[in-house]
Amino acid sequence: MRHRDSSLWFLLCLAAWCDFAPSAAAQAADSLPTLTTAQQVRELSNAEAGRGQPVRLRGIVTYHDPKWETLFVQDATAGIYIGAGDHSRPHYRAGQLVEVDGVTAAGTFAPIVAERRIAVVGAAPLPSPKAMTFEQLATGKDDSQWIEMTGLVRGMSIEWQRLMIDISHGGARFLAHFPAPPSLRLPTNLMHCEVRLRGVAGSVLNQKNQLIGMRMFVPDLEQVTVIAPAPADPFNLPLLPLSSLLGFNPHYSSNRRIRVAGTVTLAWPSGTIYVQDDTDGLHVKLTAMKPRDDTSGQYLEPPPRVQLRPGDKIEATGYPAMGEFAPMLQDAEVRKISSGRALTPLRLTPEQALGGTNDAQAVELDARLLEISPRVSSGPEERALVLNSGEHIFQAHLEIPPNREVALRPQSMVRVKGVCSVALGPRHKPRSFRLLVHDLADISILRTPPWWTSANVPKLLAISGGIIVAGLGWLTVLRRQVRTQEERIRALNREAELQQERRRAEAALRESQQLLSSITQNISEGIYRSTPERGLVYVNEAFVRMFGYDSVDEMLKVPSARLYANAADRAKLIQLIENDGRFVNQEVELVRKDGSRFWGLLSSIGIYGDVSKKPIYFDGAISDITRRKRMEEELQSLNRDLERRIEERTAELRTSEARYRVMLENAPEAITVIDAATGRFLDPNHNTLRLFEMERDHLLALGPVELSPPAQADGRPSHEAYAKQLKAALDGDTPVFEWNHLHSDGTQFACEVRLARLPDATRQLVRASITDISERKRAEMELLKSLALEKELNQLKSSFVSMVSHEFRTPLGIIMSSAEILQRYLMKLTLEQRQEQLQAIHKSVRRMSSLMEEVLLLSRVEAGHMEYKPKAIDLDAFCRRLTEEVLSAMSRQCPIEFQPRDLPPEAMGDEGLLRHILTNLLSNAVKYSPPGEPVRFTAERRNGHAVFQVEDHGIGIPAADRDRLFKSFHRGQNTGHLPGTGLGLTIVKRCVDLHGGKIHVDSSEGRGTRFTVLLPLFEGGGDAKTV
Amino acid sequence: MYKILVIEDECQMRKNICTILQMEEFEVISAKDGREGVEKALSEKPDLILCDLMMPELDGEGVFEALNNSSDDNAPFIFLTARGNTAFFRRELPGGADGYLMKPITADELLKVVTSKLPPDSNRRDAETQRQMTAEAATSYESPKTE
């Protein structure tokens, strides 16, 4: 919406406007002279103003919006914007004379004054405004000045506590801003009026602080004068033929709405409508608006759309405006007159369409579909079809609902029905045209696209011929190459086979030698062969390195026994080999050349000769496992350490758990754990048991949902609601919520529950802390009740004030005017006239004093000063006397028919109370009955009670008022201008209560009312009471 | 002589306004509610209308609207109101209404507003002079007599 956009932009501008830094510049500016007029400030450049030169001005407030801190002051020389200081400002009114003490500052557009102090020194008339045209305003040089503009009210809204009125002036539009207190309603009476506005000229700036538009700041609606009122009902205007729009007309004004009629030729959901009459077609744009309330303000919004179809006859009113090629109707309102058949479109060629005479009319064209524009959004949208006919290419536009697809194939011949819309080229000649199509159904397919088109056949032939020739050539080349290659491959193959044979044999031999050497020399294990007699006969390099000798030869000279740290080990190993022929992985401590020891892992196998039973060789391998040994030892030590620490931690945990257990058990809340998988309680503390009044075992078999009513206060099923909270807790939240739980006896109580997930690797555990808040809830209720009472008292007070001002003003007014008449015209008045005026004064005084009496009486009742003082009464005589009194006081407006039934001669009651009860009921009955309509009054004895009934055929009491019937100052909605305080029935009710009785009312609006009062007047009377 | 229509539902108030205006040599017609007021305004073509704002059936604003919708050259229209807040009423003054009078109305205020809304007219000036003369005569004549 236009207004919204501009208001957001206004926010930005205003924020930028106020962006100055007076304090920073203030020190540097002390030496500068003080400026005393606004014009002096305006003549500074923004850079000079930024130095914070002191300013002392005396001027008139022209605009102040306290909500936006927008303040303009104008002195004899010029108007200027006053930027706010740190403190909050009072609400200045336009016309207040103020003294502004401040410093200059750079504004975003023009220099401004930054406020230090503002003093109101009086009031003065607003300056005489400078009458402006929009063109003058658009120069920007009168920014901040008090000006006058005229224009037509085209729209309005209240947003952000600001009223904005959309004004059209000549061809331009601008917004007038007004401060809007919450009570202000949209001044819709100004809609479509031509008005004169007085206010402060303002600018609309872009992000680069350049002028892009104008606005006005108008202090209040008093500055708006209606020059020409809006026509009462534009639908009463004379009908104009469509062809006459924007033609020559001496009485024409673009600010006046016109009325046209025609047949709909196009109606798009977006609000574009075309109509056509016998003379021409017309583009109608629907934007006329009605007021609407919103939470953020009040707006005007378009009236509900009339569903229109081509063929519908409609009437439209709106502002004529220049369209692209032809006139159009803006801000239009539309009324549907009748339905009908769609107009037969005019068949055209593209040349005729370009002639321009058929613009805005229903036409029909045949063309070839070239292309369909792709869909760009999911909403209803305008799609364009590109069409071709002869040498012309043109477009057809339609609005397509999101769920519909255009099932047309390019190259189809189509017939398109639509509204012709012509676009202008240079020198106002038609340049192009397009067809606006109401619905997809208006495009019919004449012919689907053929496969063999005349253009396609030669193209296809040429392409296939080319492919065949190229294929044949390639085949010949390939065949020749293949033959040459085959011969070369055969020769190579023969040679390769011979060589391969030889190489394979050599490689096998080398490989087996390398294998042995590689195994023995490169592995990290020591490999050896020894004989029982000679000791070592072969060792590998690794063996030599392991024992720390320099060469294999040196090693082979060392006796085997020297290599063992313990001789017993060697004997054991020899024993093993003799028994089993082998040993595997024996750990043995060995000795190096330098005498140091190391651990070796030995495996060996005996090699037997053909004859001997004893092994002739021992082949074996040794690996140095010193490191492994050391690591094993370290590991063992680590293990021992770990075990010790685990023991320590377990002990710590036990203490900590005990500590937390004590904390848990002594916490003031009920704290428990819930297993989310089962929904059961797991670890309730003592307070949980106490809260639910349950044994531990019993509680552990239940969960929170079992201990809740089926549904919560908001109506949600408990299991669903709790599951949701549990999930939130498991997701990492810490939900806090109010919950109704059940005691073991089934009574409900309100709780506040806090959930939090408990860390646990295997289970989904949630900690719940439950606080009983029923006490708090009760306190809240008490508070609400006492607030309501206070509100009621306030209401009573304001009711009293409004009753007094309303009921006293009329008699006071009469007394005053009658007295004045007597004073001014005494000699001209006849004797009867003087008498009449005196009587009027007397009657009014009586009316006021009786109102006064009622108020005083109520205050006595309320203060408890009335008491029940029974004494013997002759009811029959008493009632007759009262009837006569009321008849006389009411000038016998209606007869009262008193009917006593079986009244005993004596009753016990309080005459004073009884008098208040009955006179009020009787005078009410007379007051609200048509003159002459009898009022029935009965009194009878029913057991110990006297029953009084007062029945009338008056205006009755509306059902809506019956609840508050006995409330002070409340009067029925249908009492109209009949005088009254709204106290009579309150007094009656209090008196009946004091008398220990009951009152009952039957009434139907427009037909009459019957009051029944029961009082214990017999057998010793009722209980004495004081209210 | 100007013709003034007084629309006021309170009987005595209506009588008193009529009396004051008659004493000032205006031709006065009156209506007891809005509906009758609209009828009389259309049939009698008064030169000025005084109309109470709060009335049962058709209120003052209703009368004003009805008259505005039915004809273009309307007589000056002045509201009589008992509402407490001047500023509040001024903002709500229907577009085109010519003024308002706050109740209780004094004769001076009434005559000031009425004469300011009517074009000057020679008969009227005569009536004013006459009234002043009568008033002077009345005081000079009255003071010894009331002793």
Assess if residue A637 is contained within a domain: no
Residue B138 has pLDDT above 70, yes or no: no
Assess if residue A779 is contained within a domain: no
**Six token digits for residue A72:** 């303009």
As a whole-number percent, the residues of chain A with pLDDT over 90 amount to 21
Residue A936 has pLDDT above 90, yes or no: yes
Q: Do B82 and A840 touch (CB under 8 A)?
A: no
Supply the pLDDT for residue A51.
86
Handedness of CA B46, B50, B54, B60 (dihedral sign): positive
Which has more confidence, A90 or A1019?
A90
Measured between alpha carbons, how far is residue A100 from residues A20, A82, A83, A694 in Å?
17, 9, 11, 76
Mean pLDDT of A626-632: 87
Residue count (chain B): 147
- The residue segments making up the domain with residue A36 are 2-228
The neighbour count for residue A177, using CB atoms within 10 Å, is 24
Which has more confidence, A566 or A509?
A566
* Closest to A214 measured CA to CA, from A279, A266, A138: A138
Which residue pairs from A458-466 have beta carbons closer than 8 angstroms and sit at least 24 positions apart in sequence? none
* Closest to A222 measured CA to CA, from B91, B76, B35: B91
Supply the pLDDT for residue A286.
77
**Six token digits for residue B132:** 């002043």
Residue count (chain A): 1027
**Residue A287: CATH number of its domain:** 2.40.50.200
Q: A158 and A75 in one domain?
A: yes
pLDDT confidence bin for A233, thresholds 50/70/90: confident
End-to-end Cα, chain B, rounded Å: 38
Supply the pLDDT for residue A953.
92
Per-residue model confidence as pLDDT tens digits over B65-115: 888 888 766 788 888 876 554 544 555 566 667 778 887 788 888 999 888
Instruction: From A569, A598, A624, give the residue that closes a domain.
Output: A624
**Cα separation, A132 vs A166, whole angstroms:** 17
Q: Which residues of chain A lie closer than 8 angstroms to B99, CB-CB?
A: none
Q: Which residues of chain A lie closer than 8 angstroms to B103, CB-CB?
A: 809-810, 813
Residue B137 has pLDDT above 60, yes or no: no
Axis-axis angle for helices A774-825, B11-23 (nearest 10): 30
Count CB pairs under 8 A between chains A and B.
89
Strands A526-531 and A615-624: antiparallel
Residue A957 has pLDDT above 80, yes or no: yes
The neighbour count for residue A807, using CB atoms within 10 Å, is 18
Residue A978 has pLDDT above 80, yes or no: no
Q: A542 and A553 in one domain?
A: yes
Strands A70-74 and A79-83: antiparallel
pLDDT confidence bin for A303, thresholds 50/70/90: low
Peptide bond into B104 cis (omega under 30): yes
Cα-to-chain-centroid distance, residue B27: 11
Q: A582 and A603 in one domain?
A: yes
**Six token digits for residue A158:** 């209240």
The neighbour count for residue A991, using CB atoms within 10 Å, is 27
**Cα separation, A995 vs A908, whole angstroms:** 11
* Closest to A71 measured CA to CA, from A82, A58, A85: A82
Supply the pLDDT for residue A415.
92
Q: Which residues of chain A lie closer than 8 angstroms to B12, CB-CB?
A: 814, 818, 840, 843-844
Question: Across the strands, what pairs with A264?
Answer: A275
Q: Do B91 and A812 touch (CB under 8 A)?
A: no
Q: Do B142 and A827 touch (CB under 8 A)?
A: yes
In A, minimum Cα distance to B136 occurs at: A824
- Matching residue, tokens 């549907």: A336
Q: A678 and A549 in one domain?
A: no
Nearest chain A Cα distance for residue B26, angstroms: 14
* Closest to A310 measured CA to CA, from A443, A439, A421: A439
Assess if residue A564 is contained within a domain: yes
Tell me the three-class secondary structure of A301-320, residue by residue. ECCCCCCCCCCCEEEEEEEE
**Cα separation, A803 vs A797, whole angstroms:** 10
Beta strands in A699-795 (DSSP E): 736-742, 748-758, 765-772
Q: A910 and A975 in one domain?
A: yes
Nearest chain B Cα distance for residue A828, angstroms: 8
Chain A residue set in contact with B, beta carbons under 8 Å? 184, 189-190, 193, 220-222, 226, 229, 232-233, 805-806, 809-810, 812-814, 816-818, 820-821, 824-828, 833, 836-837, 840, 843-844, 976-977
Residue type (1 letter), A300 = L
Those residues whose C-beta lies under 8 Å from the C-beta of residue A576, and which sit 6 or more positions away, are A582, A583, A586
Supply the pLDDT for residue B140.
37
Supply the pLDDT for residue A787.
92
* Closest to A1000 measured CA to CA, from A989, A990, A991, A1008: A989
**Cβ–Cβ < 8 Å for A756, A767:** yes
Mean pLDDT of B27-38: 92
Supply the pLDDT for residue B84.
57
Preferred mutation among A197, A817, A843 to probe B, highest tally of B CBs within 10 A = A817
Eight-class DSSP state of A717? B
pLDDT confidence bin for A612, thresholds 50/70/90: low
**Cβ–Cβ < 8 Å for A164, A7:** yes
* Closest to A360 measured CA to CA, from A423, A312, A439, A425: A423
Per-residue model confidence as pLDDT tens digits over A715-772: 899 989 999 999 999 998 999 999 999 888 888 889 999 999 988 888 889 999 998 8
Q: A611 and A463 in one domain?
A: no
**Residue A897: CATH number of its domain:** 3.30.565.10
As a whole-number percent, the residues of chain A with pLDDT over 70 amount to 91
Cα-to-chain-centroid distance, residue A111: 39
Most confident of A612-621, A807-816, A818-827, B87-96: A818-827
Supply the pLDDT for residue A487.
79
Preferred mutation among B19, B81, B108 to probe A, highest tally of A CBs within 10 A = B19
Assess if residue A759 is contained within a domain: yes
Mean pLDDT of A387-395: 87
Q: A300 and A184 in one domain?
A: no
* Closest to A984 measured CA to CA, from A915, A938, A934: A915
Q: A181 and A165 in one domain?
A: yes
ipTM at complex level: 0.79
**Cα separation, A557 vs A577, whole angstroms:** 23
Map residue A494 onto helix, strand or coil.
helix
Q: A272 and A210 in one domain?
A: no
Q: A470 and A384 in one domain?
A: no
Residue A512 has pLDDT above 70, yes or no: yes
Q: A120 and A211 in one domain?
A: yes
Supply the pLDDT for residue A62.
93
Preferred mutation among B12, B64, B69 to probe A, highest tally of A CBs within 10 A = B12
pLDDT confidence bin for A862, thresholds 50/70/90: confident
| Total of domains in chain A | 7
Q: Which residues of chain B lie closer than 8 angstroms to A193, CB-CB?
A: 95
pLDDT confidence bin for A668, thresholds 50/70/90: confident
In B, minimum Cα distance to A190 occurs at: B95
Strands A281-286 and A327-338: parallel
Supply the pLDDT for residue B21.
93
Residue type (1 letter), A113 = V
**Cα separation, B82 vs B36, whole angstroms:** 21
Q: Closest CB to B95: pick one of A190, A820, A977.
A: A190
* Closest to A670 measured CA to CA, from A655, A653, A649, A691: A691
In A, minimum Cα distance to B17 occurs at: A817
**Cα separation, A894 vs A932, whole angstroms:** 4
DSSP string, A927-956: HTS-TT--EEEEEEEETTEEEEEEEE-SS-
Q: Closest CB to A816: pick one of B84, B104, B142.
A: B104
In A, minimum Cα distance to B55 occurs at: A977
Mean pLDDT of A997-1004: 92
Helix spans in B7-121 (H): 11-23, 34-44, 60-70, 86-92, 107-117
Mean pLDDT of A496-517: 80
Residue A413 has pLDDT above 50, yes or no: yes
Per the CATH hierarchy, to which homologous superfamily does domain B3-120 belong?
Response regulator (3.40.50.2300)
In B, minimum Cα distance to A231 occurs at: B69
Q: Do A812 and B82 touch (CB under 8 A)?
A: no
Assess if residue A799 is contained within a domain: no
Residue A149 has pLDDT above 60, yes or no: yes
**Cα separation, A898 vs A883, whole angstroms:** 7
Which has more confidence, A1027 or A494?
A494
**Six token digits for residue A627:** 């490191």
pLDDT confidence bin for A295, thresholds 50/70/90: low
Mean pLDDT of A96-119: 88
Mean pLDDT of A509-525: 79
**Residue A722: CATH number of its domain:** 3.30.450.20
Average pLDDT over chain A reads: 84
Those residues whose C-beta lies under 8 Å from the C-beta of residue A503, and which sit 6 or more positions away, are none
Assess if residue A635 is contained within a domain: no
Assess if residue A202 is contained within a domain: yes
Supply the pLDDT for residue A782.
92
**Cα separation, A433 vs A318, whole angstroms:** 26
Which residue pairs from A285-290 have beta carbons closer than 8 angstroms and sit at least 24 positions apart in sequence? A285/A318, A285/A328, A285/A329, A285/A330, A285/A331, A285/A332, A286/A332, A286/A333, A286/A334, A287/A330, A287/A331, A287/A332, A288/A318, A288/A331, A288/A332, A288/A333, A289/A155, A289/A331
Mean pLDDT of A262-268: 89
Q: Which residues of chain A lie closer than 8 angstroms to B138, CB-CB?
A: 826-827
Q: A550 and A538 in one domain?
A: yes
Assess if residue A72 is contained within a domain: yes
**Cβ–Cβ < 8 Å for B95, B67:** no
**Six token digits for residue A942:** 């029913």
Instruction: From A449, A464, A489, give the residue that closes a domain.
Output: A449
- Lowest model confidence (mean pLDDT) among A243-252, A322-331, A421-430, A1016-1025: A1016-1025
Supply the pLDDT for residue A949.
94
Instruction: From A205, A228, A251, give the residue that closes a domain.
Output: A228
Mean pLDDT of A609-622: 79
Those residues whose C-beta lies under 8 Å from the C-beta of residue A478, and which sit 6 or more positions away, are none
Q: Do A828 and B69 touch (CB under 8 A)?
A: no
Largest CA distance in chain B: 57
Nearest chain A Cα distance for residue B47, angstroms: 21
Those residues whose C-beta lies under 8 Å from the C-beta of residue A910, and which sit 6 or more positions away, are A868, A869, A870, A871, A994, A995
Map residue A651 onto helix, strand or coil.
helix
pLDDT confidence bin for B28, thresholds 50/70/90: very high
**Six token digits for residue B28:** 């006065």
Residue A842 has pLDDT above 60, yes or no: yes
Mean pLDDT of A433-440: 87
Mean pLDDT of A569-597: 88
Per-residue model confidence as pLDDT tens digits over A162-218: 888 988 887 788 899 999 887 888 888 888 888 999 999 998 888 787 888 888 999
In A, minimum Cα distance to B25 occurs at: A828
Eight-class DSSP state of A1006? T
- Lowest model confidence (mean pLDDT) among A196-200, A516-520, A734-738, B138-142: B138-142
Those residues whose C-beta lies under 8 Å from the C-beta of residue A885, and which sit 6 or more positions away, are A919
Residue A15 has pLDDT above 50, yes or no: no
